[in-house]
Structure 1
Amino acid sequence: MNKPHQAYQNNAVNTATGAELTLMLYNGCIKFIKQAKRDMAANHIEGKNTHIQKAQNIIRELMITLDPKVEISKQFAPLYDFMLNRLTEANIQNNEEALDEVMDLAVEFRDTWKQVIQKTRQVTYAQGAEV
């Protein structure tokens, strides 16, 4: 029963642009933090740990994709490092506030990234219409 959904997800990832993949990573990070918060509230330690580690893996992936030659990457690297550290603190200390801080940053990054994608598409389509 889950196979059509899995096929759709695989197709979405395989056909996505780099920008869309980055958006998917931010969405995944947010989803795992929300799940970790639910696990923390339910005192489900194993689930909390698993979901925080998944969020950390996504942030590590985002760090790997940073281009050190691009100025904005130099600004994002310490923010991602901060997020990783806060997730570690959240996991060790059951600190929901730390999870909230990371989620707020991830939502802000995701929303900004979504706007960049939309603006890029508008410019691309406007240039295509001029041809």
Structure 2
Amino acid sequence: MAVNNPYQAYRQQQVFTLSQEKLVLMLYDGALRFCRLGVSCLEKKDYAGVNNNLLRAQDIIKELMITLNHDAGEIASNLHRLYDFMLWHLIQANLKKDAKMINDVIDILQHLRDAWEEAARIYRTHDYRTRTGMDRQG
């Protein structure tokens, strides 16, 4: 895929070189942004804008779902159920034009985002590879 716009190429390269932790944070931030824009559009009675923004938020949540590591066990299963709930909630919010339902999803996304950011911070400040013996050569 060729990118002719230098800014677009730079942004694309940034995404390719981000850590997994930062990519997940970006996904959460994007979903939050589109949900908030959906609420804003709803307040203005811009229903096409509501639809567009909620669909984009749904796409991001789907991406979070498909990138889950199900080998992680119960936490991955619980996250999958939360993502599924948020998708259903956003679909219903879009159909009913219900700001409260969108705000419910925003609350969940914000809590997940904050928890992920904290977990990434803790991971970065500890050397788990040394403690688990992952740095030993076989």
Same fold (TM over 0.5): yes
CA distance in 2, matches of 1:12, 1:124: 25
The 4+ residue runs of structure 1 with deviation greater than 6 A are: none
Q: Does 1:118 align with 2:117?
A: no
Q: Measure how far apart 1:15 and its partner are.
A: 1.1
Structure 2 partner of 1:12: 14
Structure 2 residue ranges without an equivalent (≥5): 131-138
Structure 2 partner of 1:69: 71
Structure 1 partner of 2:42: 40
Residues 1:45 and 1:18: Cα distance change in structure 2 (over 3 Å): same
Residues 1:68 and 1:33: Cα distance change in structure 2 (over 3 Å): same
Q: Which of 62-71 and 42-51 deviates more?
A: 62-71
| Greater gyration radius | 2
Question: Which structure: greater helix fraction?
Answer: 1
Q: Measure how far apart 1:67 and its partner are.
A: 1.9
Percent of aligned positions that are identical: 35
Q: Measure how far apart 1:64 and its partner are.
A: 0.2
Aligned residues: 124
Residues 1:82 and 1:120: Cα distance change in structure 2 (over 3 Å): same
RMSD: 1.7
